[in-house]
Chains A and B, each alone.
Chain A
């Protein structure tokens, strides 16, 4: 589909203009500008999705734009189904983030909204960039607004958390830049689609893969480089946590599926043991850590690490189910963890503590809240009918074909996940309503309801009819799987179709018995 209208550039321009405008207006106008800009982007995202060509013979890359205005690299945008889904997630969460900050942020509102809008530009840019250096610029630039968001509007220990976030992720990604420079020289192009089909020498792939891995593993985050995440989450304002868990972590998974797997298939196969090993540790270990957390945000942060480990396991299963499952976990987790952070934010705004023990019995005075919180808890656990179930099931099916041991360990993580989430829910929502200040907490306001309901609907939609989300990605995932096929390590499950018994023989057999 040839698209003459530069809708992707427009999607980047709208929040950018909004961000600049927010710096120069009063607090209330900044809120409205930010909401307006994100809603326009949501609308554009919807248009993008609706006009995305799903036909089997459709172009792999759509809405392409190309302007060689930067000398050594170009303003090249374009999306495939995978990018489309992640962009949709971004534009869906952004208005909710703005809404979540509506009353919670009273200080320096203009700058805050500008930082968020700038963040949106960069996130969309990461998923839409088709030039490897343009991607890097968007990817790295995200550090600046996030550093400011955590550092200015964060909690008590915000400065430590902001440093840690910045330096960890920066150290992770700089080596990736050197790898990119090398790759571009080797392949003679900066276009991501061309690089995805270029066969790099196997020897070099190992180094390149490790350089990219350093970056994406930190971003993801994978155990043992996940420690920045709980700190950043706990200290960030609610909306900051939502965007961090909802979209920023997905950049790591996106990086794997866009760069590591198709560009270095041999090295990816060579290093599956590493990814699997780290993921298995992450699933079990961080789930256990989550079980003993006293701080709600920290608990959800650790649960994010565990969920992201399911993603990496699915990605490195090297088959269609695994990759699709990983993508679905990413989308589902983006919604659910975002919603959970919002739920924490709701009660934090009322009581100003994240300590689990300070709450209890909220089902009595906040029934609406209890209901929605329950839905998201169940979704996080992976209850059938919710978004995460689809993804986790697919990812685990995928990994089972590759390694049943990994599947076994990761499934344990799901059980542990149920344990810590239900335990959290019990302590916060059930029990007796004994504390006076908790008793005084009002139920969800209209604004809060308006934030959580769309996510709840999306979670159910994704759980009940995942085909809407799987369809755009299927072709792209298939081509990545085809690219990986020659390098795919042999699985230990050796699945084979069962032999259907000859019905005639069975009939004879049945008759003979009489």
Chain B
């Protein structure tokens, strides 16, 4: 394999890395609104370019760097979602930061750096590569969480995220070192081979620690504690970013680790995943019921959703992984849509408001926005005919196919609890007497994004053949 071949296989990462450093220079020399606009649209263009480069060998070129990095359809599927969500996070941020006078060119650059980290995460085939990607993503995310530096909550969120994130990284690193110590290699394939002849106690400990560290990154119960605080404290565009792209990256990464590296250990990881799935579903549903803050509520909702996605992983079959990938696609659409709706919540003076109560009577003052909100909420609750139902359908179908019918039954019964708080939002929007109205809409782009996401959620079933094929191809590359 020539150098050129290798470079082509990491084209998206290269594009983003070179672009990000260049844009950082631009940010240093051209502060202000015009510079910000240039940087943010350039960043979006770079993400688009990176996505385009996946058409080449980067999309399905196979392993490079001695098997440390792999470009396969699984990674491609995840990368497309990551780039899309990152681009949205950049596009929606401008108007939010403009008002606070925090329009700084570092924001798009940090998102780009985070996107590179995520790209590496989903392509990693070696624990060290995994760690590098994870840390790059996390470090950028810590800064993003405290991006509104004059806001105490934002600073608190960043600090909390950093301390707990560092702890999780430590746990993960410890698990990796155990796996290395007992199997003599850091590559996924090597670990899988070592586990093939039965799970030694050391490997078992390594597996548990690695999964605990990853659970933190996907905010699965019992490692979810940081999520509501960080989501609430971080600026809303950053929260939208946290709830979308890193979730995809971390879930895809977990899937690859579990299937490629721990596959032979069978029930050992499956037990852990099943527990995390059910615990996340139940806690994500119950804890959200009394949340007055919409961002906090959506944080719990994301925990809840991770639980459902993990049911697909718990099945441990190609079908289950395909279901998980479809779930992520649909989840991204719902999450992006609902967070852009949240971004529209501004009082008359343009200050962002976050209480659910302020949504009261939205259906009278802003019928379009209200309808979109309702669509996303019903979809998150998994009510057909919206697309969110299909996401749950697929993971439960996979679980039933893998003989985990009781798991599917418990999971779906618990989803009814979750339906309650989504209904509460719809109730506030549609049934309650109007509260003080929001500031009028200003952004056609935001509305475009909301409309596009809502259209996917409503007409998504027509995408089924394509989505099924793409996710099946992605899953097949892991088996």
User: Looking at the complex, which of B54-62, B273-281, B291-299, B393-401 is the stretch in contact with chain A?
Assistant: B393-401
B49 within 8 A of A: no
Residues of B within 8 A of A446 (CB): none
User: Looking at the complex, which of B223-231, B255-263, B377-385 is the stretch in contact with chain A?
Assistant: B377-385
Complex formed: what's the CA distance from A143 to B382 in Å? 12
**In the complex, residue of chain B having the shortest beta-carbon distance to the beta carbon of A150:** B431
Given A162-B427, A171-B416: A178 touches B461 (CB 8 Å cut-off)? no
Complex formed: what's the CA distance from A171 to B383 in Å? 12
Residues of A in contact (CB 8 Å), total: 33
A175 in contact with B412 (CB, 8 Å):
yes
Complex formed: what's the CA distance from A143 to B415 in Å? 15
Residues of B within 8 A of A144 (CB): 378, 383
Complex formed: what's the CA distance from A166 to B377 in Å? 14
Residues of B in contact (CB 8 Å), total: 34
Scan A151-176; emit 1 where CB is below 8 A from any B CB, else 0: 11000001100110011001100110
Residues of A within 8 A of B396 (CB): 177-178, 181
Point out the residue from A69, A137, A163 that lies within 8 Å of B384, measured CB to CB.
Answer: A137
User: Looking at the complex, which of B119-127, B191-199, B463-471 is the stretch in contact with chain A?
Assistant: B463-471
Given A151-B427, A171-B413: A72 touches B389 (CB 8 Å cut-off)? no
A141 within 8 A of B: yes
**In the complex, residue of chain A having the shortest beta-carbon distance to the beta carbon of B413:** A174
Residues of A within 8 A of B409 (CB): 175, 178
Complex formed: what's the CA distance from A133 to B363 in Å? 31
Complex formed: what's the CA distance from A174 to B418 in Å? 13
B419 in contact with A167 (CB, 8 Å):
yes
**In the complex, residue of chain B having the shortest beta-carbon distance to the beta carbon of A140:** B384
Given A147-B423, A151-B427: A182 touches B405 (CB 8 Å cut-off)? yes
Question: Which of A70, A137, A171, A174 is packed against the most chain B CB atoms within 10 Å?
Answer: A174
A72 in contact with B468 (CB, 8 Å):
yes
Residues of B within 8 A of A152 (CB): 430-431
Within 8 A of B (CB), among A66-104: 69-72
Point out the residue from A71, A147, A159, A171 that lies within 8 Å of B468, measured CB to CB.
Answer: A71
Residues of A within 8 A of B444 (CB): none
Residues of A within 8 A of B412 (CB): 174-175, 177-178
**In the complex, residue of chain A having the shortest beta-carbon distance to the beta carbon of B407:** A178
Within 8 A of A (CB), among B360-385: 363-364, 367, 378, 383-385
A494 within 8 A of B: no
Complex formed: what's the CA distance from A310 to B109 in Å? 69
Distance of A239 from chain B, by nearest CB (Å): 18
Complex formed: what's the CA distance from A162 to B430 in Å? 12
A288 within 8 A of B: no
B420 within 8 A of A: yes
Within 8 A of B (CB), among A34-80: 69-72
Given A72-B397, A178-B396: A136 touches B415 (CB 8 Å cut-off)? no
B462 within 8 A of A: yes
A167 in contact with B416 (CB, 8 Å):
yes
A148 within 8 A of B: yes
29 chain-A/chain-B pairs, Cβ below 8 angstroms: A69-B462, A69-B464, A71-B464, A71-B465, A71-B467, A71-B468, A72-B397, A108-B364, A111-B367, A137-B384, A140-B383, A140-B389, A151-B430, A152-B431, A158-B431, A159-B431, A163-B427, A166-B423, A167-B423, A170-B419, A174-B413, A174-B415, A174-B416, A175-B409, A177-B412, A178-B412, A182-B405, A185-B400, A185-B401
Residues of B within 8 A of A (CB): 363-364, 367, 378, 383-385, 389, 393-394, 396-397, 400-401, 405, 408-409, 412-413, 415-416, 419-420, 423, 426-427, 430-431, 461-462, 464-465, 467-468
